[in-house]
Amino acid sequence: MIRPIVKYGEHVLHLAAEPITTVTGEIGDLVRDMVETMYAAPGVGLAAPQVGVPLRVFVVDVSAGRSKDGLMTFINPEFVEREGLQLEEEGCLSVPGFAATVGRPARAVVKGLDLEGRERIVEGRGLLARAFQHEMDHLEGRVFVDRLHGIQRDLIVRRIRKLSRSGKW
């Protein structure tokens, strides 16, 4: 089932997500819905808070569905290592129509559980490292706009507020 994606400004996007204590059928249903929603959007990653569920789970597929091995699910993820720096433009399904250059690690290693409750450790470089950091930010109540500074951040936030007041957000 495709779920509605929560937009910037919604309370759930600005809260730290709660850990998942048991991988249940409900969590499996949530993950399947998240995958379907991510591909339909289309996007390369989606965190549970983006569909209004404040739990520590995200899905990512930087191949956007073109590779059968591209889809990854992380439950209760945490960083093992991060290093380097990449500066690239990124957007967000919860901030549609906006993009900005954001500094992210060039390499990131993430540890978490898969849907069967097995631990997995994955190293990401480039876009995958960026996607890991982006989705982990959502689990901490942050959106890429929160990583911006000065006039760049102010312009985006003001435009979102204006769209919100006019009912177009």
- Catalytic site positions: 135
Closest C-alpha among 74, 69, 4 to residue 36:
4
The two tokens of residue 163 are 């769209």
Place of tokens 């706009």: 145
CA distance 139 to 142: 7
The amino acid present at 40, given as its one-letter code, is A
Closest C-alpha among 13, 93, 21 to residue 54:
13
